[in-house]
Structure 1
Amino acid sequence: MTAKVSSSFLTLPVENVYRILDHLDELTIFLSLRNVCMRLNTIVDTYNRYQTLITLNLSTNDIGNRGVQYIANALQYNRTLTTLILICNDIGPTGAKHLSMALTKNNTLRTLNLRWNNIGPNGAKWLADALETNQALTTLNLCENLIDAEGIKHLAHALSKNKTLTSLSLVSNKIDVDGAKYLADGLQHNQTLLILNLAKTEMGFEETLTSLNFAWNEMGNQGAQYLADALKNNRTLRQLDLCGSQIYDLGAEYLFDALTINRVR
């Protein structure tokens, strides 16, 4: 909290402060006007534009890990934001660390989109640490983030403990056979994840995988579609367990179409 605040500001009528806020953009209000002083905290909390700020989209702004640190600091105290979109900002593993620390304190954010941010396996580990305790996040997009099997190992462990995440997208990451096995193991202990998108990964189904167990993970029809896309190029899988996965007619059709293309050697 700032040590010195103008005495004139401390006595400025609330209506006048509102008028000042009216001329500021939402990002400035979100990032710069918390923890200046207790009075301003109270005023901002009652300001309509702050109360209704539920989505913040800063995609393709090149904010980097320094910029995301300011966002993470604000996120720790914010109680209105439910969706944060940071696509293509090159936040890296350090930026993921900042967000992880915020997620351990924030209990209102529901959707976090970090597509194309080069967080890598270390960044995945930081986010996984947050997922183990976070009780709010339901949707996490980590597409195109250079996450390999080691990063997936941490995420899979988090999934075995997380109770709120319902959608996880890992499209276009370096997920090989080991990564697929880590996910399968983690999902055996998860009861909430409904959508897991593994399209365009490097799972290598066509090379070595012979057994895959996704039983009792409630993947549903959409999850079956993602799995079917991966199986189309498979040439080695001998055993697939989807018991209790809530796959109905549409999901079965996806799998059937994939198996008509699939040719086991």
Structure 2
Amino acid sequence: DFHVDQDLKRFSDGIAKLKCPLDAVQPFLKRVKAEQQGIKDGEIFDLPDFPLVIGGDDDRPLRFETLRPFFGVLAGYPWLRRISLLHTRIGDDGVMVIAEYLQQYTPHPERNPFGIEVLELPENGITPRGAGYLGRILTQNESLKKLNLDFNDLGDEGAVLLGDGCKWNSTLESLSLQYCNMGEKGGEAIAKYIVRASSVKELSLRGNPLKPVGVTHIARSLAKNAYLVKLDLADTSFGIDLETVEALRDGIEGNDSLEAVDLNLNSIVPAGVQLLVEMLKAKPKLTQFLVYERISEVVFRDVMDTVAANIKLMKKKKKKGKGKAKAASAPGTADPAANSQMNSARGDKPPSA
């Protein structure tokens, strides 16, 4: 018995003592109240897993005088795994509060062994200062798997500060930095700290003015990366430079983990598109590959047909792999004596009766 009702009551009692405006967090408080009532009525038996989601409202902004005391009470609530503050204009001071919360939030492993896994803060007026707070937290945090900072003016400095934290983090898998005003220097920092040194699997840089120089830095780091599965470079203003496209072609060719690449909304020179098509045909693992549709219709169709062929080939490989695994596991029984010798060699002990 986890006494969830007591956790919810403790949280509600803490909120009731606050003297700050609570309009912006009412949706979450109503969900807590409904959960309490459901447990009381015997209608809810599952452990609470509802996220903290607050959407921006011009009439109910999430102000600092509410954010700090609210997260102070929230630190004692052990069931939270996702925080989504969507265009709530919390700014850098708000990010500082959340960073402090992430540092303090240590729920009991029996209640919540996961911790905060998802943090989404799109369009919140965050600048390089806020990126610095998050970067420092990432050097210590071992729970966060997904971070979304889309539509915040982080700039090149923010890319450096955030990236410097990412390189020390081993749990972050998904990082979205769409339309964050990161330029050439930002691209260099992302290449150095995130592509080369982190374990991020999904990286979205859509809408940043990386230009040829920034994208080239990223492209040259791809061959040294073993984790990246999805890369979004749509609308990053690099397509007019053939050398950048060549570097990107070489980087993708030298990377063995990528499965999805988005180059949409970049006007790539015809010779560059042809290079990418040839590369795509030699990389069957790439089953998602997007280019701007405003290219030659014949070439665009060639890209789509190649992707379709790659998908078909990978499905066939997976099916063949499952068949081999099934054949290896049946029929027959392993020699018990051999198993015993193997366990002894490993130092394994038999389970107690």
| TM-score range for the pair, normalised by the shorter chain length | 0.7 to 0.9
Q: Secondary structure at the match of 1:181?
A: helix
> Does the Cα contact within 8 Å between 1:148 and 1:176 map onto a contact in 2?
yes
Partner residue in 1 for 2:258: 219
Match of 2:285 in 1: 247
Structure 2 equivalent of residue 76 of structure 1: 103
Superposed, 1:21-170 pairs within 5 Å as 21-23=11-13, 24=15, 25=29, 31-33=71-73, 44=76, 50-79=77-106, 80-158=115-193, 159-162=195-198, 164-170=199-205
Q: Structure 2: how far apart are the matches of 1:202 and 1:143? A: 14
Unaligned runs of 5+ residues in structure 2 are: 16-28, 30-51, 53-66, 107-114, 301-353
Give the partner amino acid of 1:176.
Answer: K
- Matched residues in 2 for 1:243 and 1:30: separation? 53
1:5: which partner in 2?
none
The answer to whether structure 1 residue 19 and structure 2 residue 54 are counterparts is no
Report the secondary structure of 2:231's partner residue. strand
Match of 1:183 among 218, 240, 245: 218
Query: How big is the alpha-carbon RMSD for the aligned residues of Structure 1 and Structure 2?
Result: 3.0
Name the SS of the counterpart of 1:180 in structure 2. Answer: helix
Match of 1:206 in 2: 240
What do the CA deviations read for 1:138-183 (whole angstroms, capped 9, x no partner)?
A: 0011000000010111111112111x21101011000111111111
- Greater length-normalized contact order (CA 8 Å, ≥ 6 residues apart): 1
Cα distance in 2 for residues equivalent to 1:201 and 1:63: 27
Unmatched runs of 5 consecutive residues or more in structure 1: 1-14, 35-40, 45-49
Alpha-carbon separation, structure 2, partners of 1:147 and 1:115: 11
What is the rounded CA distance, in whole Å, between the counterparts of 1:104 and 1:68 in structure 2? 16
Secondary structure of the corresponding residue to residue 253 of structure 2: coil
Does the C-alpha gap of structure 1 residues 54 and 119 become closer, same or farther in structure 2, counting only changes over 3 Å?
same
**How many residues get paired?**
227
Q: Tell me how far apart the structure 1 counterparts of residues 266 and 159 of structure 2 sit (CA, whole Å).
A: 26
Distance in 1 between residues matched to 2:7 and 2:172, nearest whole Å = 33
Confirm or deny: 8 A CA contact 1:141 1:168 kept in the other structure.
Answer: yes
Task: Supply the AA of the counterpart residue of 1:216.
Answer: G
**Structure 1, 72-81 or 120-129: larger mean CA deviation:** 72-81
TM-score (norm 1): 0.75
AA partner of residue 31 (structure 1):
F
Distance 2:283 2:189 in 1: 23
- Contact 1:156–1:182 (CA under 8 A) maintained in structure 2: yes
Fraction of identical pairs, as percent: 25
In the alignment, is the contact (CA less than 8 A) between 1:207 and 1:236 conserved in 2?
Answer: no
Between the aligned partners of 2:246 and 2:69, the Cα distance in structure 1 is 52
